Amino acid sequence: MWRQLSMLASTSMAILGVAMLVGGCEAQVSGMPPGAGSAPQATGVAPPATMPVPPPQAPPAQPVASFDGLDARTRQATADAAAAGATIEVEVLDRNTGQVVSNGVTRPFPVASVVKLFIADDLLLQESKGETQLTAADRESLKIMLRSSDDGAAQTFWDRSGGNAIIGRIVARYGLTGTTGPYNGHWDVTQSTASDLVRYYAMLLDGRGGLPAAQANVIMSNLAQSTPTGTDGYPQRFGIPDGLYAEPVAVKQGWFCCWNGANQLHVSTGVIGPERRYVMVISSLQPVGAAAARDTVTQAVKTMFPGGRI
């Protein structure tokens, strides 16, 4: 990952808890009363005093509240990180129920190598439209960029597809309101929010972002094979992979030092669970060493999901 030193001033982020709303439904039970009519003719068998009423139907099963207690644990993770000097931003989506849990922080942060998702998405859409052709070497570079966060591949594709124009196209297609291109043209300081990145993944997975399913699967299958270290040798199991160790995950990580002077930046994003049910994004800014900063973001995920499972 490039090491960018930005002179932009950072803004302290307010930490809020967001309460979850879990919807329910109420079953309606109805039955037909006995009909009124003329007295029955004598048949030698006495008619029943009343017509039988069918038993009431059981109410439909309620959706599983998969996020029970998560709001409180998210607040705890945020407070623990703050006590260690870190500012975190986190959001989790259950794609089955639509439930969202967030710590309420919505300040844009540099996404570092997570922007490689946008670069790949834009390139694969061009291919699907016949606007470009990918060689075998291109496909290998794309694979290494997504699995091992290769910077050289990212730079090649960034330059080929118009640099900042890539971000403009992604923002338009996915309706990202907190995402902006890099102020200096360097892809790693593209800024976004946890909410925008969760929205991106959700729309990538269900096709609403416009990328055909075959191309979306190129991205997701490579993220599912994320390597333990990047091509630069940096450990990239922090956050979601090490925190949710009991779940299948597909992740794109980002990191660099230093943002606004001494802050280590770490961003962990991806999908979790069978059938890619959950989407999670967590970012952290902390003025400590790299290993300690990685531990902070991993511990936040573990606090939110004890036992390494959602």
pLDDT at 262: 87
pTM passes above 0.85 = no
Q: For the segment 136-154, what is each residue's pLDDT rounded down to a tens digit?
A: 999 999 999 999 999 999 9
State how far the Cα of 20 lies from the Cα of 38, in Å rounded to an integer: 57
pLDDT at 1: 53
- What is the SS3 assignment for 246? coil
pLDDT confidence bin for 260, thresholds 50/70/90: confident
With 0-12 CB in 10 A as exposed, 13-18 as middle and 19+ as buried, what is 212?
A: middle
- Rounded average pLDDT over 184-202: 98
Q: How many CB atoms lie within 10 A of CB 21?
A: 8
Segment of 48-57, 255-264, 268-277 carrying the highest mean pLDDT: 268-277
CA distances from 31 to 47, 54, 56, 59, 235 (A): 21, 7, 8, 15, 64
Structure tokens at 42: 């004598």
- Rounded average pLDDT over 267-281: 97
Interaxial angle between packed helices 115-128 and 164-174, expressed in degrees from 0 to 180 and rounded to the nearest 10: 80
Strand partners for 268: 253, 282
What integer best gives the mean pLDDT of the chain?
85
pLDDT confidence bin for 39, thresholds 50/70/90: very low
195: pLDDT strictly greater than 50: yes
Burial 198-210 (b: 16+ CB within 10 A, else e): bbbbbbbbeeebb
111: pLDDT strictly greater than 90: yes
115: pLDDT strictly greater than 50: yes
State how far the Cα of 201 lies from the Cα of 108, in Å rounded to an integer: 17
**H-type alpha helices, 232-289:** 240-243
* Range scoring the smallest mean pLDDT among 10-19, 135-144, 301-310: 10-19
